[in-house]
Every structure is written in C-alpha cells, then in structure tokens.
C-alpha cells in the first residue's frame, strides 16, 4: 500500500509557527491535507508531529491516523529519514497494514496540486528499480552556465565545468531544483540507505509557480499574493 505522510514540527525559526499559520484564513497544513485526501493513488494518510495544535488540525480535517513525534526527532538538526521510519512503523502497528511506499508531502509547498503528487507516484511505479522520486522544477540559474563557486585559490569558477565553455543557456544540460512537494520513497530504501541522495532517484517535474517552498517571510507573502491573484 502507498502511505501519504505529512511530517511537520511545531517549531520554526525562519517563519514562526508557519505550519499552523493562517494563509488566506486557512492553516498552512490544511492545504497539504486537502490535496492528499483527493489523491487517487494514496491509500491512507498519517500526520506526524511534536505539536498538539498540528495534530488537532489534522483530526479536524478527518485525518484519523496521527502520531506524536518524539523529542529526539523534533530538533532543528534532526534528519527526516528517521522521522519517516518512525511514522511508517507506528502506522503499521496502529492499523496492521503493510506499507510499500511512503509519499511525504511538505506543508511548506501549499500551491502543489493532487496531480503533482499523483504524477510523482506514477513515475515511481514505472520500475521496481526506482527507490525515490522527488518533485523538482527547472530553475532560472544553471550551474553549467551562470552559477559560480570560490575555489581553493580564492578565485570564482563555474560550478559545473565542461570541456568547451557553454555560451548559451539553452545549450546547458537541464538541471532541476528540488522542491519538497512530494518525496515518493520505497519502504525498503528507508532502511537500505541513510539518506535519499544515496538511492536511485528520479525527478517528477512540476511548474515553478506551484513549487514555491516557504522558507522566509517573503516566500509566505509571495504565496499569499499568488493565491489572491488566482
């Protein structure tokens, strides 16, 4: 079975209380709950949090499976990988269902649609060799063309070098900027690897305008603007 997971903490330093903050009058987490519940491919949904308000919002929105995240998995430095394992193991104990894949959907990408989620799941289902599918978009900057880093000598050089310099952006290899709208992860991969970057990954492309991730107050205001313009 395919389990949707929404894993979010109560604490946030970049945007205070962002996961429960009202966005056009609706708690931010509710946007992700709504699109997950409309998915044709998710079999069930669980919300994992250390915050009681978040868990109560989930229950108010008909999410019957919730799990309290322990303190050691709720710090600023905690990796989400063990958080996923905790959610899966608790869900299986709670329901008796055996999970094959999880689909983690970050609440900080509220403009994602059910199609974005289901497209990522469909891509993961295409081959048993795929461990992870991540949503992403083509960014305005490309490391082969207009991104530089400082080398050991203190000089700036291209992030990705080619034998022949690339003089037109159109000629640069296509790259993707990741967005946590959806991470589709094979359950075995959660125990086989320490991080998704070690696994066999694919990218499920989505439009830039739906991929905005709230990390700052400016991001929050931009999304409010886009919602109102829509």
| N- to C-terminal Cα separation, the chain | 35
pLDDT over 70 at 86, yes or no: yes
In 3D space, the residue among 102, 181, 174 whose CA is nearest the CA of residue 145 turns out to be 174
pLDDT over 90 at 15, yes or no: no
What domains can you pick out in the chain, each with its CATH number? 2-134+177-229 (3.90.550.10), 140-175 (no CATH)
Quick one: pLDDT band at residue 170, thresholds 50, 70, 90? Answer: confident
Per-residue pLDDT of 194-212, as tens digits, reads: 999 999 999 999 999 999 9
Q: What is the DSSP pairing of strand 201-205 with strand 132-137?
A: parallel
Per-residue pLDDT of 141-163, as tens digits, reads: 999 999 999 999 999 999 998 88
Structure tokens at 21: 């903050």
> Residue 219, SS3?
helix
Residues 48 and 82: beta-carbon distance below 8 Å: no
Q: Torsions phi, psi of 161, nearest 5?
A: -95, 145
pLDDT over 90 at 229, yes or no: no
Question: Which residues 6+ apart lie within 8 Å of 162 measured at CB?
Answer: 144
What's the pLDDT score for residue 49? 92
What's the pLDDT score for residue 53? 93
What's the pLDDT score for residue 122? 97
Q: Torsions phi, psi of 58, nearest 5?
A: -60, -45
Per-residue pLDDT of 103-134, as tens digits, reads: 999 999 999 999 999 999 999 999 999 999 99
What's the pLDDT score for residue 14? 63
What's the pLDDT score for residue 147? 92
The more confident residue out of 28 and 230 is 28
Quick one: pLDDT band at residue 230, thresholds 50, 70, 90? Answer: low
Question: Which residues 6+ apart lie within 8 Å of 117 measured at CB?
Answer: 4, 35, 36, 39, 41, 42, 103, 105, 181, 182
What's the pLDDT score for residue 71? 78
DSSP state of 160: S
pLDDT over 90 at 55, yes or no: yes
What's the pLDDT score for residue 78? 74
What's the pLDDT score for residue 13? 64
């Amino acid at each position: 079975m395919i389990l949707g997971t929404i894993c979010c903490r109560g604490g946030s330093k970049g945007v205070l209380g962002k996961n429960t903050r009202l966005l056009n009058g609706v708690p931010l987490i509710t946007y992700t709950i709504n699109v997950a519940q409309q998915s044709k491919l998710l079999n069930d949904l669980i919300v994992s949090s250390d915050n009681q308000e978040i868990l109560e919002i989930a229950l108010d929105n008909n999410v019957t499976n919730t799990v309290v995240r322990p303190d050691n998995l709720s710090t600023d430095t905690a990796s989400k990988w063990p958080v996923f394992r905790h959610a899966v193991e608790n869900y299986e104990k709670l329901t008796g269902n055996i999970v094959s894949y999880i689909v983690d959907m970050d609440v900080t990408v509220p403009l994602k649609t059910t199609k974005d989620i289901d497209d990522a799941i469909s891509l993961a289902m295409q081959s048993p060799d795929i461990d992870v599918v991540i949503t992403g978009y083509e960014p305005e900057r490309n490391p082969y063309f207009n991104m530089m880093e400082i080398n050991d000598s203190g000089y700036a050089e291209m992030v990705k070098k080619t034998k022949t310099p690339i003089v037109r952006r159109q000629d640069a290899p296509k790259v993707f900027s990741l967005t946590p709208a959806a991470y589709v992860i094979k359950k075995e991969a959660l125990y086989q690897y320490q991080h998704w970057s070690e696994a066999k990954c694919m990218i499920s492309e989505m439009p830039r305008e739906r991929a905005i991730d709230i990390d700052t107050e400016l991001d929050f205001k931009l999304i409010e603007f886009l919602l109102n313009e829509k």
